[in-house]
């Protein structure tokens, strides 16, 4: 099977490449941005025309922290939608039998959702704190629907909770939320700080997806023929930000106090995804223990200091 991984230099992409490389039946193609700029149609069209992949993992994304996607809202929306437009146009033109697999963040659910059920995904507006990024993902869903309706381009769209684990950015403003907290906590310990500041109240409850589970779900998606309306990849279980911070403190060995800076935006109070549909498709899927995932991630970032 010929597999093209776009965004292969990113957090998820690097881990997916490592997993798929074990299977010698796959031919993997993982162009870097220096070779293929997805924002340039000529680049991505030549790439897809040359490779003629069976499967395309669209992991290319422009995102960051809540504060980042608010400050650079126009760029975030434009880049994410533009990359998808170029990919679908190139597939339709040169390789219409390719299947596109792409993850969406559960921040694209309506704001103030508690248990996020697939049939309610588009039932309201997203939270203002994530407006640009979340609406870009919704736009990509509509794009996949339009290209299937006219050209029968197959897509598998999947909704994931907040991701964490080894291999993400070292910049706490650009990494995923839990990784960012781990990076800052380790630095606070190194600097002998007496306090660690959590951005926000610590009250929001979040479901977390360890990177290995994220990658496993992506690989299982290769067996799904077509699923443009996204399915939750979920264990229907969450932890408050404060609870996760406490776990990180224990694993890091940080001896100071955890305090909460309420001048930062919290985002939605609860984000936990319903798992009924996911369990029907993958009844034997096992999720990583949250504490063990934190321990692995702390170990990774300690090695980066």
CATH of the domain at 12: 3.40.50.720
The alpha carbons of the chain give a radius of gyration, in whole angstroms, of 19
Q: Give me the residues paired with residue 195 across strands.
A: 257
State whether 192 and 101 are in the same domain. Answer: no
pLDDT classification of 202: cutoffs 50, 70, 90: very high
Strand, coil or helix: what is 277?
helix
Q: What is the pLDDT of residue 186?
A: 96
Q: What is the pLDDT of residue 104?
A: 97
Q: Range with the lowest mean pLDDT among 81-90, 162-171, 228-237, 251-260?
A: 162-171
CA distances from residue 158 to 35, 102, 219 in whole angstroms, order as listed: 27, 6, 12
Q: What are phi and psi of 27, to 5 degrees?
A: -105, 115
State whether 30 and 75 are in the same domain. Answer: yes
State whether 290 and 175 are in the same domain. Answer: yes
State whether 227 and 241 are in the same domain. Answer: no
Q: What is the pLDDT of residue 113?
A: 75
Pair 200, 261: CB distance under 8 Å = yes
State whether 70 and 199 are in the same domain. Answer: no
Per-residue pLDDT, averaged over 113-137, amounts to 93
Per-residue pLDDT, averaged over 18-31, amounts to 91
pLDDT classification of 39: cutoffs 50, 70, 90: very high
Per-residue pLDDT, averaged over 265-294, amounts to 92
229/240 Cα distance (integer angstroms): 29
Quote the domain boundaries for residue 251.
Answer: 168-206+237-304
Q: What is the pLDDT of residues 223-264, one digit of tens each?
A: 999 999 999 999 999 999 999 999 999 999 999 999 999 998
State whether 31 and 111 are in the same domain. Answer: yes
Q: Over 290-301, what HEC string results?
A: HHHHHHHHHHHH
166/213 Cα distance (integer angstroms): 12
Per-residue pLDDT, averaged over 263-291, amounts to 91
State whether 229 and 87 are in the same domain. Answer: yes
**pTM for this structure?**
0.91
Per-residue pLDDT, averaged over 38-55, amounts to 97
pLDDT(172) > 80:
no
Strand, coil or helix: what is 195?
strand
pLDDT(169) > 90:
no
How many domains in the chain?
Answer: 2
State whether 172 and 221 are in the same domain. Answer: no
Q: What is the pLDDT of residue 135?
A: 97
């Amino acid at each position: 099977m010929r597999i093209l991984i776009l965004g292969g230099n990113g957090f998820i992409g690097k881990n997916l490449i490592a997993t798929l490389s074990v299977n010698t039946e796959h031919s993997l193609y993982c162009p870097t941005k220096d070779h293929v700029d997805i924002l340039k149609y000529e680049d991505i069209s030549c790439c897809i025309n040359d490779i003629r992949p069976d499967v395309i993992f669209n992991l290319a994304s422009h995102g960051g922290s809540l504060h980042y996607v608010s400050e650079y809202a126009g760029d975030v929306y434009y880049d994410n939608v533009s990359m998808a437009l170029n990919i679908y146009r190139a597939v339709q033109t040169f390789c219409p039998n390719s299947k596109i697999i792409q993850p969406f963040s559960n921040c694209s659910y309506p704001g103030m959702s508690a248990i996020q059920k697939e049939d309610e995904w588009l039932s309201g507006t997203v939270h203002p704190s994530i407006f640009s990024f979340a609406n870009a993902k919704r736009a990509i869903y509509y794009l996949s629907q339009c290209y299937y309706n006219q050209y029968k381009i197959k897509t598998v769209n999947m909704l994931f909770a907040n991701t964490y684990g080894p291999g993400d950015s070292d910049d706490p403003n650009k990494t995923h939320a839990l990784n960012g907290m781990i990076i800052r906590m380790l630095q606070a310990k190194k600097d002998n700080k007496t306090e660690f500041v959590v951005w926000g109240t610590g009250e929001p409850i979040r479901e977390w997806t360890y990177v290995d589970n994220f990658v496993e779900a992506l690989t299982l998606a290769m067996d799904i023929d077509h699923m443009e309306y996204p399915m939750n990849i979920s264990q229907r279980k969450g932890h408050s930000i404060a609870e996760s911070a406490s776990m990180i403190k224990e694993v890091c060995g940080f001896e100071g106090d955890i305090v909460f800076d309420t001048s930062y935006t919290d985002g939605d109070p609860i984000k936990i995804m319903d798992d009924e549909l996911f369990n029907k498709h993958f009844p034997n899927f096992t999720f990583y223990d949250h504490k063990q995932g934190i321990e692995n991630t702390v170990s990774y970032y300690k090695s980066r200091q």
